[in-house]
Amino acid sequence: MSSAARGLGTCWTSLHLFGEEAAAEALGIPYAEVQQAALIPVAYATGAGFKPAPRAALDTVVHWETW
């Protein structure tokens, strides 16, 4: 059963990196030893309109050894 089927939603965020050291302290992450890349919060979705977000075609955003 998928997380969406369970009513859970997620999102990728990196806004916390502007205060990475404070985020590390709040989350108990050893700042000097671990580099953060993103936070992926998980929560129960509200409302009935829960569906996957629109996505660009993979070949338009992924590049292998070239731009």
Predicted TM-score (pTM) of the model is 0.56
pLDDT tens across 25-62, in order? 999 999 999 999 999 888 887 766 667 778 888 888 88
Return the pLDDT at 9: 80
Return the pLDDT at 28: 92
Q: Name, in order, each residue with C-beta under 8 angstroms of 9's C-beta and a sequence gap of 6 or more.
A: 3, 42, 43, 44, 45, 50
Q: Name, in order, each residue with C-beta under 8 angstroms of 24's C-beta and a sequence gap of 6 or more.
A: 30, 31, 34, 36
Give the residue extent of every domain in the chain.
8-60
CA dist 37 and 23 (Å) reads: 12
Which has the higher per-residue pLDDT, 7 or 4? 7
